[in-house]
Amino acid sequence: MKKPTPFLTERQIAKRVKELGETIARDHKGKGLACIGVLKGSFVFFADLIRNIDLPVTVDFLGTTSYGQQTRSSGDVKITLDLSVPITGKHVLLVEDIVDTGHTLHYLLENLRLRKPASLRLCVLLLKPGKLLKPVPIDYLGFTIDDRFVVGYGLDARERYRNLPYIAELPESAREEE
C-alpha cells in the first residue's frame, strides 16, 4: 500500500496547532479549561493542541459515529462514548478533526449546551465549507480545505492512515482497498 502524498505537511500542521493553542490560552487566561476531544479522528490533533495550551486543563472524550465503515456520513449521529465527568459551570473547549456536513458537530454542540457549561467553544482542524449543510460556530479553525477525502494526522479511511504525520488526499481507488 503506497502512502498518499501530503498536502498539509507536519511542519505546517505543527505551526498552526501552536498558534491555535496560544490563541486559546490567551482567550481563556485566568480560567481552567475542560477540553473534550471527539473520537476517534481528533485524537492526534487533540493531544498536540492541549500541549500548546498554557492553562490548567482537564481532558475528556466523546465518541461519535455517523460513518460506520463507510466513507460518507449517514447523517445519523450516535454517541458511542459519553463524558466521564459533568461539565456544568465549566469553560469547555470541544475539539474536532474535520467539519464536512456539520451534522455531527451541530448535534454535539446542542447536546453539550444542555449540560450548562459556563462557556462552550469549538476548535476544528479542518473545514470543508463546500459540504456544509448545518452551520456550526467555529471559534478556532486550523485550515479550510476544498472538498476532498483526506487522511492522516488522526483522520482515517476505514480505520487506516490515522498514523500518518501529515494530511493527504486519498484517491477514490485507495478508499475501497481492504
Q: Distance from first CA to last CA of the chain, Å, rounded?
A: 10
**Sequence letter at residue 126:** L
Catalytic residue among 27, 76, 82, 100: 100
* Buried-exposed string 120-135: b where 16+ CB fall within 10 A, e elsewhere: bbbbbbbbbeeeeeee
Say which residue the cell 498554557 belongs to: 54
Is residue 82 flagged as an active site residue? Answer: no
DSSP state of 160: B
| Residues noted as catalytic | 100
